[in-house]
Amino acid sequence: MLCGIDEAGRGPIAGPLVVAGVVLNKTVKELNDSKKLSEKKREELFDKIVNASQYHIVFKTNKQIDLKGISQCLKESIQEIMENISADEFLMDGNTSFGIQTLQHKIKADATVMEVSAASILAKVSRDRYMCKVSKKYPEYNFQKHKGYGTKAHVEKIKEFGRSELHRYSFKLKELGEEKGGIQKSLF
């Protein structure tokens, strides 16, 4: 039995990292890398996957990412999934096992292995739903549109309003004149 693992939210400048692990109990048709599916199709598949699988979804907040770093948050999330899902094998999309001996990895697994595709969809939909929900608390940033990714429009909102408590302060933006490794002053 294979548990596929994938993440959503490694690159955004705001919001959580979401990692999902999925063991499919029955076949779900039309699975693919979540990035290759429309939002409507991902939403349709979400409930089908939930009803056809054993799954575990882990959220790491922007504050945890700032404190521990994205790689450590990914590693902890994967370990939590491995502790909560019973499987013979664990396969992560990507090119690293994060030092976890029993974790396999494969580039583009989210497009070629249905369990990883399913995990990709659960992670992406869970994160997108969260960002739409919190956009009501922070309407000036339009999180429901860009989901926290560093789009030009999002960076312009940061220039106008500063960072919110949902932003990742450890992620430096050259558009704001920030340098990697520099100390970010808190806006609070």
What pLDDT, in 10s, does the model give residues 40-55? 999 999 999 999 999 9
Is pLDDT above 80 for 175? Answer: no
Residue 184 — pLDDT band, cuts 50, 70, 90?
very low
Is pLDDT above 70 for 187? Answer: no
CATH 3.30.420.10 residue ranges in the chain?
Answer: 2-134
pLDDT, residue 179, reads: 67
Per-residue model confidence as pLDDT tens digits over 69-102: 999 999 999 999 999 999 999 999 999 999 999 9
Is pLDDT above 80 for 35? Answer: yes
Amino acid making up residue 40: K
Half-sphere exposure (CA, 13 Å, Cβ side) for 54?
12
CA distance 168 to 12: 8
pLDDT, residue 188, reads: 30
- The alpha carbon dihedral of 186, 58, 109, 151 has a sign of negative
Averaged over 114-134, what is the pLDDT? 97
Domain range 2-134, its CATH number among 3.30.420.10, 1.20.140.10, 3.50.50.60, 3.20.20.140: 3.30.420.10
Output Rg (C-alpha) for the chain, integer angstroms: 17
pLDDT, residue 180, reads: 62
Judged by DSSP in three states, 82 sits in helix
Count of residues in the chain: 188
